[in-house]
Amino acid sequence: MSMIATLTDATVKRRGKTILGPINFELAPAGITIVLGPNGAGKTTLLKVLHGVERLSSGRIQWSVPDAEARQSQAYVFQSPIMLRRTVGQNLAYPLKLVKAPKADIARRVAAWADKTGLADAIDRPATRLSGGEKQKLALGRALIRKPAVLFLDEPCANLDGRSTREIEALLAKAHADGTRIIMTTHDLGQARRLAQDVIFLLKGQYHDHGQAAAFFSKPRTAEAKSFLQGDIVE
Ligand SMILES: Nc1ncnc2c1ncn2[C@@H]1O[C@H](COP(=O)(O)OP(=O)(O)OP(=O)(O)O)[C@@H](O)[C@H]1O
């Protein structure tokens, strides 16, 4: 299922201050979109708005399917994933239990995803004891196990070593190849270059630029985007 999101004057205000918007754009139905921008630019807020967990102060967001259906077919991976105080296998099984999948189906898919995430040997271990990289892979497996149409990720590789980062990027590339639409934030420009098909560049809560990744990285259109890519402080 492909879904398009349309934002119309989408604005988020907190304590009287506008932290996002007004933003107008249409999110294409496929691909890997990377949201870039300095700290506090509104990246997390935009992701939450798209997923429907951050309330708009004004304007609207409309998915091309009814809201409940859109939410059902989306998954969100937080920067610091919350693990259930249960085993790795039970964490993977959780989203399938919520939708009352048949037991045999759950067992089969949990085994497959433990394998895909490199956690097969840890399947009976408490999830809270995993390393940071393992937790993030588990969170990703738990998000992908229902094959979401859209997957949001907020800095999925923050504080991870190169090996875990590479493994997570491989899982994301595979999910994308299997038809999941990916929208993620990262502070890692190398990662953005490796994964992005298009880039949304936010600045001070504004939708500053949006373009194909190759063009954005090789020929940024604005002075701010250029400075950002050079590693300068942009505010
Ligand atoms: N509940 C809130 N109340 C007040 N201000 C908030 C709230 N949530 C976020 N903000 C502010 O809104 C701005 C945007 O925050 P957001 O987390 O979306 O930015 P970000 O681009 O994801 O930042 P970072 O790269 O640091 O994660 C920041 O200035 C933040 O301090």
With tokens 């590789």, the residue in question is: 157
Give the model's pLDDT for residue 229.
Answer: 96
What atom in ligand 1 is closest to the CA of residue 41?
A: 21
Mutate to test the pocket of ligand 1, among 19, 80, 206 (most ligand atoms within 8 A of CB): 19
Any atom of ligand 1 within 6 Å of the Cβ of 164? no
Query: Model confidence over 32-43: pLDDT tens digits?
Result: 999 999 999 999
Query: Model confidence over 212-227: pLDDT tens digits?
Result: 999 999 999 999 999 9
What atom in ligand 1 is closest to the CA of residue 42?
A: 18
When pLDDT is cut at 50, 70 and 90, the band that residue 143 belongs to is very high
Q: Which residue puts its alpha carbon closest to atom 12 of ligand 1?
A: 19
The rounded Å distance from CA 102 to ligand 1 centre is: 40
When pLDDT is cut at 50, 70 and 90, the band that residue 1 belongs to is low
Where is pLDDT greater, at 80 or 197? 197
CB 73 within 8 A of CB 150: yes
Any atom of ligand 1 within 6 Å of the Cβ of 226? no
- What percent of the chain shows pLDDT beyond 70? 100
What is the mean pLDDT of the segment spanning 145-151? 95
The rounded Å distance from CA 111 to ligand 1 centre is: 38
The rounded Å distance from CA 158 to ligand 1 centre is: 17
Query: Model confidence over 99-111: pLDDT tens digits?
Result: 999 999 999 999 9
DSSP label of 81 = P
Query: Model confidence over 179-213: pLDDT tens digits?
Result: 999 999 999 999 999 999 999 999 999 999 999 99
Structure tokens of 136? 């993030």
- What percent of the chain shows pLDDT beyond 90? 90
Work out the mean pLDDT of the chain and round it to a whole number. Answer: 95
When pLDDT is cut at 50, 70 and 90, the band that residue 12 belongs to is very high
Any atom of ligand 1 within 6 Å of the Cβ of 200? no
Give the model's pLDDT for residue 216.
Answer: 96
Extents of the domains making up the chain: 5-79+150-230
CATH number belonging to domain 5-79+150-230: 3.40.50.300
Handedness of CA 181, 175, 195, 186 (dihedral sign): positive
In order of 151, 156, 177, the CA distances from 172 in angstroms are 9, 10, 9
